[in-house]
Structure 1
């Protein structure tokens, strides 16, 4: 009988639940452990080394729970920690483990969603300043012009459940205007933070109707399904009882209250504190 080997899903807070929702919807048979580092969220304004250390701690905790595959469902962690973990920590300490992010899967397909080859990327300061999307998209679609806009107020608004209130309109309009001012040719906008899908109603009201607004959940889920097909040596070791466990470094009660907004349903198993 194999030891339980769930898929680990990590985010700095609640946002990764929007990705987890899509992954679990597409791949429901597997076991999952979700970890939100809410006590130290948001990650977007932290220094590179801090984000790397926080992310590594959380990844190692998921490894300790039996996860052989961990998804960084956080753009900031993917931008500022993933490469170092993959190139430094896994080969030396965890050669049988795998850690994947959300940036590369998105970069691989984003060219399918633009006709003008002008794409807007809206994310945290950490993601934007890393220029990870600029670099990754150019690898796959060198003809695409990438226009970036940091949106530092959006995560606090969302995590305080103020994102659909009238008070959020100013910050939505401000950042969207700043992005479109960079180029009138932008016809595809990527929400490069897993929190941002909760702003979709307001964003659709601001951007022209012909602008494609991309969220990452389905893209990452499709990429993971493809990865498991291509790596049977990883897939065969995963446990399959359909269990989902949720952990937070913050207040479990607050996590439980907010989580259903991101996950789309109440967390039946409850939330544990670490």
Structure 2
């Protein structure tokens, strides 16, 4: 069984792509709505909350978890993989959404921490739109820089977007915020043209059209759900130990918050009704 973890609704965009790519696999989703959003929190707090989420999903029988929250993945993933997971849950693993995006931008596998001598990445510029915690962690520029130092990375925190999207705000309400963040990032670019932007929060695919409208023509917009699904398929091909038990079936949704309220709002992210259960 594969777990998918997010601070709220955003990870449902990733879950939908995973289910579409592997409809026969059982998935368990957990949204930590009681503690959302993670973006304004301290790194230590995010780390503790992420570990608590992992423990809840492992207790549900998951053997592999995808952290579908950029904030949690950027701040906590490497540390929990190295310090917590081997002793707390040996034989199980946790992956994150940041890795497939870095691989897509740099065209270098994640396990390679330094640039191969024969790898010549073309000079280009990448804009990152993300939560404040993801931006402050420096994970995107650090990991991209290791693998493709010729790529210029410019980041822009978007603190208003997750609250707006989570409460189901209309495009008319969200568009001014998106346009404002795009203007600030373009100002940071100066005279250098922008080639690609990363929507570095799993909520943002729902407003991809607003980013595309605000950005200059020709800028590529990368979203994480499809990249994450493709990466997970490749990982599962390499790790047959995570094949599902024949008795495991279906799709379950859990939240640490108000299950009725979460169920009402979450369908927009997943594409059809999502009956959440409360998980303490």
> TM bucket by the smaller chain?
over 0.9
Match of 2:232 among 221, 224, 227: 224
Match of 2:257 among 247, 250, 253: 250
Q: Determine the structure 1 residue equivalent to 2:110.
A: none
Alignment pair present for 1:213 and 2:221:
yes
Q: Determine the structure 1 residue equivalent to 2:61.
A: 66
Classify 1:170/1:236 alpha carbon distance in 2 versus 1 (closer, same or farther; 3 Å).
closer
| 2-structure distance, mates of 1:66, 1:219 | 25
| 1-structure distance, mates of 2:187, 2:221 | 17
Q: Determine the structure 2 residue equivalent to 1:3.
A: none
| 2-structure distance, mates of 1:262, 1:49 | 28
Pairwise CA RMSD: 1.6
Q: Determine the structure 2 residue equivalent to 1:129.
A: 136
- Match runs of 1:72-87 below 5 Å: 72-87=67-82
- Match runs of 1:230-241 below 5 Å: 230-233=238-241, 235-236=242-243, 238=245, 241=248
Q: Which runs of 4+ in 1 moved over 4 A?
A: 237-242
| 1-structure distance, mates of 2:271, 2:221 | 20
Instruction: Mark the runs of 5 or more structure 1 residues left unpaired by the alignment.
Output: 1-5
Alignment pair present for 1:168 and 2:168:
no
* CA deviations over 1:172-207 (Å, ceiling 9, x no partner): 111000111122411111000000111122212111
Q: Determine the structure 1 residue equivalent to 2:111.
A: none
**TM-score where L is the length of structure 1:** 0.92
Classify 1:181/1:225 alpha carbon distance in 2 versus 1 (closer, same or farther; 3 Å).
same
Alignment pair present for 1:92 and 2:91:
no
| 1-structure distance, mates of 2:68, 2:20 | 15
| 1-structure distance, mates of 2:267, 2:128 | 26
Does the Cα contact within 8 Å between 1:154 and 1:163 map onto a contact in 2? no
Number of aligned pairs?
264
**TM-score where L is the length of structure 2:** 0.90
Q: CA offset at residue 140 of structure 1?
A: 2.5
Does the Cα contact within 8 Å between 1:125 and 1:150 map onto a contact in 2? yes
Once the two structures are overlaid, the 10-residue window that deviates more, 34-43 or 184-193, is 184-193
Classify 1:238/1:86 alpha carbon distance in 2 versus 1 (closer, same or farther; 3 Å).
farther
SS for the counterpart of 2:153 is strand
| 1-structure distance, mates of 2:84, 2:148 | 30
Does the Cα contact within 8 Å between 2:127 and 2:153 map onto a contact in 1? yes
SS for the counterpart of 1:120 is strand
Classify 1:240/1:176 alpha carbon distance in 2 versus 1 (closer, same or farther; 3 Å).
farther
Alignment pair present for 1:180 and 2:186:
yes
Does the Cα contact within 8 Å between 1:105 and 1:219 map onto a contact in 2? yes
Instruction: Mark the runs of 5 or more structure 2 residues left unpaired by the alignment.
Output: 108-120
Alignment pair present for 1:22 and 2:29:
no
* CA deviations over 1:201-229 (Å, ceiling 9, x no partner): 22121112311111100000000000011
